[in-house]
Amino acid sequence: MFFMQIASQNRLDYTGQSLSLPAGGVERGPKEGAMLIVMKPQASEEDIRRVCQRIEALGYRAHAMPGAQRTAIGITGNKGPLEPEEFESLAGVAEAIPVSKPYKLVSREVKNEDSQVRVGPAEGGVTIGGRQLAIIAGPCAVESREQALAAAEHVRKAGARLFRAGAFKPRTSPYSFQGMGEEGLKILAEVRRQFGLFIVTETIDPENCDLVEEYADVLQVGARNMQNFSLLKRVGRSKKPVLLKRGMSATLEEFLMAAEYVLSEGNYNVILCERGVRTFADHTRNTLDLSVIPAVKLLSHLPIIVDPSHGTGKRDKVIPLARAAIAVGADGLIVEVHPEPERALSDGYQSLYPEQFESLMEQVTAIAGVLGRTVEGKRKEVGSRK
Ligand code: PEP
Ligand code: MN
């Protein structure tokens, strides 16, 4: 019960901000003796480097996570418990504390401030996880050059800055449309050139990732692949941000553990996505679990967005759930929009018409204003559309 004591004293909160941990969440204690080194606020770069070197000399991996006031260094790769004394004597170290959660790097115990994920260049890119909401929109799949460019034109006009469309589609049936492959990726590159939209597209396995990575601005890992561990490790070695969708029957812990795979390989740019889970309800394709948003916010510093399209599977429910997602604290949305949904090769029944997407943007901008947030790429005034 040592760890419960630590949590109740809030010693894990290295930034000095209050961090509340859910009852029960700390009971298990560290399974693998995970350790977090908290540096003193005045620790130098050299101190931090030396601690990382020490960790690596012991055969473990060091993850320095700079915070607003001090740096924390997570240790992964250890098989058994670590001795705090091993590190506490090093220059600049404030304390070495065991991490109580099975996930470490995604946890607020390691980094209390919200993470912001940058997409595209420092100048002119988009940030996901800040005050601005990121809206990703586009068709389920790239179906043709004309279809993708038409969709992109609508999406850009409505004010979104990120374009979604799959070139590789992991379909439930092997006989369904599987995507256009590399040809689709080339069309997405054209969308980026013509409209300045950043491209979010799915990678379906580690081999396929080499190709998708060349074209994508954000690598999407789909619900069906949330526990494809070799894919998670592969995107963890990528320089591109990762959009990780929740598996359709994944618990919150499994979801965060999947993200942990990506961070543990060195890629800290992960955006989580709630896309609905399977329940007995049959009035929707999935049940959109909006309560997971505040639950994630409590436990993790990672941004989380919502997919009301797959989350409901029905066009008429997409806008209401998009509004709710923003109200509940999501950092953005990923929405399917198609120039002609009735002709879509996949997910047409849940794709918005372009005018509906414009309306969604207006409504979401209004709700964002109530929360003191704005929509990335969108003018602040509501109703500015002629
Ligand atoms: C998609 O985004 O088109 C998709 C296949 O989503 P999911 O992995 O959430 O089912
Ligand atoms: Mn889809």
Are 223 and 246 spatial neighbours (Cβ–Cβ below 8 Å)?
A: yes
Domain spans of the chain? Answer: 2-98, 117-375
285 lines ligand 1 (CB under 6 A): no
The stretches in the chain having pLDDT less than 50 are 1-31, 379-386
> Same CATH fold, 117-375 and 2-98?
no
245 lines ligand 1 (CB under 6 A): yes
Q: Bridge-partner residues for 304, per DSSP?
A: 272
275 lines ligand 1 (CB under 6 A): yes
Residue nearest atom 3 of ligand 1, based on CA coordinates: 140
Nearest atom of ligand 1 to the alpha carbon of 169: 5
Are 151 and 339 spatial neighbours (Cβ–Cβ below 8 Å)?
A: yes
Q: Which amino acid is at 193?
A: R
DSSP 8-state class, residue 304: E
Residue nearest atom 10 of ligand 1, based on CA coordinates: 223
246 lines ligand 1 (CB under 6 A): no
140 lines ligand 1 (CB under 6 A): yes
Nearest atom of ligand 1 to the alpha carbon of 166: 3
Class at the top of the CATH hierarchy for domain 2-98: alpha beta
Residue nearest atom 8 of ligand 1, based on CA coordinates: 222
Paired sense of beta strands 304-306 and 270-274, if any: parallel
247 lines ligand 1 (CB under 6 A): no
Nearest atom of ligand 1 to the alpha carbon of 273: 9
Q: Which residues contact 89 (CB under 8 A, 6 or more apart)?
A: none
* Each residue's pLDDT tens digit, 176-234: 999 999 999 999 999 999 999 999 999 999 999 999 999 999 999 999 999 999 999 99
Phi (first) and psi of residue 345, to 5 degrees? -85, -20
**Of 3.20.20.70, 3.40.1110.10, 3.40.50.12160, 3.30.1370.10, which CATH number belongs to 117-375?**
3.20.20.70
The rounded Å distance from CA 53 to ligand 1 centre is 41
The rounded Å distance from CA 273 to ligand 2 centre is 14
DSSP symbols for 142-180: ---HHHHHHHHHHHHHTT--EEE-BSS---SSTTS----
What CA–CA distance (Å, rounded) separates 275 from 325? 11
Residue nearest atom 9 of ligand 1, based on CA coordinates: 223
222 lines ligand 1 (CB under 6 A): yes
Give the pLDDT confidence score for residue 218 in this predicted structure.
98
Ligand nearest to the CA of 170: 1
223 lines ligand 1 (CB under 6 A): yes
154 lines ligand 1 (CB under 6 A): no
Nearest atom of ligand 1 to the alpha carbon of 220: 2
Nearest atom of ligand 1 to the alpha carbon of 225: 8
For residue 299, give both structure tokens.
Answer: 């436990």
Nearest atom of ligand 1 to the alpha carbon of 275: 9
Q: Which residues contact 291 (CB under 8 A, 6 or more apart)?
A: 328
Are 268 and 116 spatial neighbours (Cβ–Cβ below 8 Å)?
A: no
Residue nearest atom 6 of ligand 1, based on CA coordinates: 222
Ligand nearest to the CA of 248: 1
Q: Of 301, 298, 257, 295, which Cα lies nearest the Cα of 274?
A: 295
The rounded Å distance from CA 168 to ligand 1 centre is 11
* Each residue's pLDDT tens digit, 257-268: 999 999 999 999
The rounded Å distance from CA 59 to ligand 2 centre is 43
**CA-to-CA dists, residue 201 to 14, 121, 141, 208, angstroms:** 36, 18, 9, 12
Give the pLDDT confidence score for residue 16 in this predicted structure.
30
